[in-house]
Homo-oligomer: A and B are copies of this chain.
């Protein structure tokens, strides 16, 4: 079975219903994480996903709400005596953060970590392929294109992380089956979106339309919004196949 699990769908500061960003791609026992914000290991437990089976963690950028959950997750993997190597894909400075944390906590992981450049195309068991591309945010930031081979099909998922409206996202997410896009703000807060390098719901929908994707999932939603119908309404006006991701939602692909 292949599924996408939205572990956290919040932006910046978490709310009780939307925690920091994290999404799992689960292909039988092969699991990858896209971002790992605070609380990511609690959400994994809530969905019965073992930290021991996570093969890679792809981090979009180094704002805390996308990456801080990785540190305690590494500690838990060590407490569980993980032996399998883990690949961490992300900006270079991420290695410094992990290594300083290990140094000051006098910990050593029970497994090897291999750090990968986001722009390198990586294959896992010849089933999942992942490659990053630059997005338009306030700091070094990558989205990820994930291709999943299942029987004779090749299913494509694009995960933007944080981005404003971005030509490079349109190019790299062309014709994908599922686009998971930053939708931090409603259009009424467009100025705030521009100032912080984020997209409005409408921006996300326009990108989905332009990239000719099959389905759009809105994520990274500001905690100020409670009206799900309003969010979805704004997207659907532009792109009919729009969906709102909520924490712990799952999409079963095959």
Contacts and interface: CB of A to CB of B under 8 A. Distances in A.
Interface of A: 12-16, 19-20, 37-39, 41-42, 45-46, 62-65, 68-69, 71-72, 75-76, 79-80, 91, 93-94, 96-97, 100-101, 104-107, 138-139
Q: How many copies of this chain does the complex contain?
A: 2
Contact of A75 (B45, B46, B65, B69): B65
B42 A79 contact: no
A139 B100 CA distance: 15
A91 B103 CA distance: 13
A-B pairs, top 3 by smallest CB distance, nearest first, are A93-B104, A13-B76, A64-B75
Contact of A39 (B38, B64, B75): B38
A73 to B, nearest CB: 9
Contacts of A93: 104
A41 B38 contact: yes
Contact of A12 (B37, B38, B75, B106): B75
A48 B229 CA distance: 27
Contacts of A94: 104
A158 to B, nearest CB: 24
8 contacts: A12-B76, A14-B41, A14-B76, A16-B45, A62-B105, A62-B106, A64-B75, A64-B105
A118 to B, nearest CB: 15
